[in-house]
Amino acid sequence: MTLYHYIGAALILVFITVIGLYSGKRVKSANDFSGGSKKAGAGIVTGSIIGTLVGGASTIGTAQLAFNYGFSAWWFTLGAGLGCLTLGLFFAKPLYESGIQTLPEVFSREFGRRSGVAATVLTSVGSFLSIVSQVLSGIALVAVVGGMDRIPATFLTIALMLVYVVFGGVWGAGMVGIAKTLLMYAGLGICLVAAVAFQGGFGAFTLPGDRYFNLFARGLAVDLGAGLSLVLGVLTTQTYIQAAISAKSLRASRIGIFLSAVLIPIMGIPGIYVGMYMKLHRPDVPSASVMPLFILENLPPVVAGMILAVLLVALVGTGAGISLGISSMFVKDIYKQFINKNPGDKRTLVVSRLVIVVVLLAAALFTFGDMGSLILGWSFMSMGLRGAVAFVPLCAVLFFPGKIARGAAFISMLVSPVLVLIGKLLINAGLMSKAIDPLFPAIGGSVLIFVVGYVYSRKHPATPTAMPHDLK
C-alpha cells in the first residue's frame, strides 16, 4: 500500500460515512429505524438486500473458492439470487400483507409465544455466526492490506459497521446499500475486465474444464446443498424480510426484490475470473488473499485503493445489516414481550441501537484467541442453520394456516438445527459422507414433524391455533 492507495481508500470511506450519517436524519421514530413505517421505495429495498447479502463471501470468498474450483464458487451469489426470486414470487405478498415487523412475530401468532421466542434465539445464533465471519474477513483485509495489528483492525471494522447502520437503521442500510451496489459494480467490473484482458480473453483461461468450468465440481450434492442453503437462508433471515416489508407498497417491495435477484448473481462472476487468473499466475499464494493481491498488483494505486475500500464496505454492510435484523427481533419479540411491554418511541429506538452495539462488540470478542478459526468454519453453515430452523414453519404459517398443531412447530425448531449440527459432527468425524449436506436430513426431519402435527390436528380439531385472519 502506497500513499495513493490510501488516498483512494479514504475517498470511498469518507463518502460512505457521510451517507451513513445523512441517512440518520431520516430516522424520526423507532418505526423508521426498523422499517415499520413502510416508506422505502424499490431502490431502498434493493439496496438493503444487496447491502447485506453481498459481502465477504460474495467477493473475497468467491475468488478464494474459484481459485480451487472455478465456477463451483458461483453457488453463493447464484443461490442468493434464486432465494430472492423465490421470496418475490411466493413469500413477499403474504409477508407484506401480514402487518408483521419480524419473522418470529409470524410464528408467535400461529404457534404461540414459545415458538416465537425459539425462532428469535435460534435464527439469531445463525445470524450471529455470519456477523463474526464478516468481522473476521474485515480484520484480515484491513490487517493484511492496511498493515494494522489485529486489535485496531477489529475496532476499525466494528466502528464502520456502527456508522453504517446504527444511525440510520433500514434507511442507513438501504441508502448506503444503493451507493455500495453502484461502487461494487464499478469496482468488480474493473476487476473482471482486467483479469480477462491480462489473460488474453475468456477463452485463454486454460484450466481443466471438468473442475474449473463445472458448476458441480465439488460434487452434485455438495453444490446443490450450498445453493439450497442460500435459498432457504434468504427466505428465513430477518434482515431480508425486513427489507421486503419496509417498502411503501407491495409493488415497490417486489420490484426491489426482483432487482436483487437479477443483480446479485452477476456480482459473483468477477470473483470467479479473478480466482482463476490468480490460479494461473500466482498458484502459490494463500487462496484467501487472491482478490486483494490481484487488485494491489494489477490496478493503478488510486483505483486499487478505492476498490479495496469498497470490499471493506461490502464486509461492513453485511455484518451491520444482519445485526439490524437481530436487533429488530430482540426488541419486538423479547424486549417488548418480557421486559417492557409499553416502551416509549424514544426508549425503543435507544434499545434498538444499543442491541446493535452489543451484538457487534460481542462478535468482536469472538474473533480473539483460538475461537476465531472455529467460528469462521462454522459460519458457512449459518444460512443453512437459519433455514433449518424457520423454513418449514414459515411455509406452514403462510400456506397451511391453522392446520398444524402448535407443538409441532416448537419441536421442529429445536430438532432441525440439532440435526444440522449432528450431521456436521458426523462428517468431520468421517462417519458420514461429505456428499450429504446436513441441511437435507434437517429439512426432511422438520417436514416429518409437521406431517405428524398435521395428522394430530386433524384427529384433534380442538387443538388451538393463534392464526389471525390478517395473515392471508
**Phi/psi-derived region of residue 7, left when phi > 0, alpha when psi is between -120 and 50, beta in every other case:** alpha
- Judged against a pLDDT cut of 90, whether residue 282 lies above it is answered with yes
**Measuring CA to CA, which residue among 83, 48, 126 is closest to residue 318?**
48
More confident of the two residues 437 and 307:
307
Mean pLDDT across the chain, nearest whole number?
83
For residues 362 and 125, what is the distance between their CA atoms, to the nearest angstrom? 12
The predicted pLDDT at position 33 comes to 46
Grid-cell match 458441480, residue found: 216
**The pTM is what?**
0.83
pLDDT tens digits along 70-113: 999 999 899 999 999 999 999 999 998 887 778 888 898 899 98
pLDDT tens digits along 425-464: 887 777 777 767 788 889 999 999 999 999 988 887 754 4
Q: How many CB atoms lie within 10 A of CB 217?
A: 20
Q: What are phi and psi of 373, to 5 degrees?
A: -65, -35
**Measuring CA to CA, which residue among 448, 446, 453, 452 is closest to residue 402?**
453
Mean pLDDT of 48-61: 81
- Judged against a pLDDT cut of 90, whether residue 162 lies above it is answered with no
Mean pLDDT of 331-343: 83
**Measuring CA to CA, which residue among 101, 38, 100, 472 is closest to residue 256?**
38
Mean pLDDT of 193-216: 95
Among 188-197, 229-238, 347-356, 367-376, where is mean pLDDT lowest?
A: 367-376
User: Residue 177 contacts by C-beta under 8 Å, 6 or more apart in sequence?
Assistant: 44, 46, 47, 48, 49, 50, 51, 52, 317, 321
**Measuring CA to CA, which residue among 93, 86, 72 is closest to residue 387?**
86
User: 113-146 and 345-366 helices cross at what angle (nearest 10)?
Assistant: 50
Q: State the pLDDT confidence band at 180, using cuts at 50, 70 and 90.
A: confident
Among 207-211, 215-219, 319-323, 379-383, where is mean pLDDT lowest?
A: 379-383
The proportion of the chain whose per-residue pLDDT surpasses 70, expressed as a percent, equals 88
The predicted pLDDT at position 378 comes to 52
Mean pLDDT of 215-227: 87
- Judged against a pLDDT cut of 50, whether residue 40 lies above it is answered with yes
For residues 457 and 446, what is the distance between their CA atoms, to the nearest angstrom? 16
- Judged against a pLDDT cut of 50, whether residue 166 lies above it is answered with yes
Q: State the pLDDT confidence band at 37, using cuts at 50, 70 and 90.
A: low
**Phi/psi-derived region of residue 246, left when phi > 0, alpha when psi is between -120 and 50, beta in every other case:** alpha
- Judged against a pLDDT cut of 50, whether residue 468 lies above it is answered with no
For residues 95 and 300, what is the distance between their CA atoms, to the nearest angstrom? 46
User: Residue 153 contacts by C-beta under 8 Å, 6 or more apart in sequence?
Assistant: 138, 139, 142, 143, 146
Among 217-226, 326-335, 374-383, where is mean pLDDT lowest?
A: 374-383
User: Residue 423 contacts by C-beta under 8 Å, 6 or more apart in sequence?
Assistant: 432, 436, 437, 438, 439, 441, 442
